[in-house]
Amino acid sequence: MTADETPGTGGPGPGPDRSTRREQLGQVLRFGLVGGVNTGTFFGIYLLLHPWMPYFAAYTLAFLLSMVGSFFMNTYFTYRTRPTWKKFALFPLTNVTNYVIQSAGLYALVTWAGMDTRIAPLVAAVVAIPFTFLLSRKILVPGAVRAAGQQPARSRSTL
């Protein structure tokens, strides 16, 4: 197996279907853990910046800073693959979607629902989780949407 392949997609063992499901479950659990750490990092940065700038500017800067950490945690830990320049360049696309969903949620929660600006980003983030998982997996795991047992494409460039 190469460093860019997803473990459990073939080879000896209990069979590709069962091991693929096990690996996908592991990815979901690791994604949740990374998401928790990343959300805590984001929220801590947001709270530090919030007193010094408008809430939306603090939100945006915290989001951008935590995105870099998220990329490395997801490549190394969640999907157990190598970071590459291509993945690094594409990863912000997952975060653009996440940012749009969270931003719309943040605006709606603060403006229309009257939610506290310190709590609203957490609520908006929860809504964006499934979208972020699916998009990040597609970018960070080459061939993740292929049928089990096929070899994913290898990337030769690394960060």
Q: Residues 46, 59: contact at Cβ < 8 Å?
A: yes
pLDDT of residue 144: 65
Q: How far apart are CA 139 and CA 153, in angstroms?
A: 12
Q: How confident is the model at residue 146 (pLDDT cuts 50, 70, 90)?
A: low
Q: Residues 118, 152: contact at Cβ < 8 Å?
A: no
Q: Which residue has the higher pLDDT, 142 or 89?
A: 89
Is the pLDDT reported for residue 159 higher than 80? no
Q: Which residue has the higher pLDDT, 46 or 144?
A: 46
Share of residues in the chain with pLDDT > 90 (%): 48
CA-atom Rg of the chain in angstroms:
17
Q: How confident is the model at residue 57 (pLDDT cuts 50, 70, 90)?
A: very high
Q: How far apart are CA 71 and CA 69, in angstroms?
A: 5
Q: How confident is the model at residue 11 (pLDDT cuts 50, 70, 90)?
A: very low
Is the pLDDT reported for residue 83 higher than 70? yes
Cα 81 from chain centre: 14
Round to the nearest angstrom and report the end-to-end CA distance of the chain.
20
pLDDT digits (tens, 9 = 90+) for 86-137: 998 999 888 788 889 999 999 999 999 999 999 999 899 888 888 888 889 8
Is the pLDDT reported for residue 43 higher than 80? yes
pLDDT of residue 50: 95
Over the chain, what HEC string results?
Answer: CCCCCCCCCCCCCCCHHHHHHHHHHHHHHHHHHHHHHHHHHHHHHHHHHCCCCCHHHHHHHHHHHHHHHHHHHHHHHHCCCCCCHHHHHHHHHHHHHHHHHHHHHHHHHHHHCCCCCCCHHHHHHHHHHHHHHHHHHHHHCCCCCCCCCCCCCCCCCCC
Residue with tokens 């096990």: 22
Q: How far apart are CA 132 and CA 70, in angstroms?
A: 11
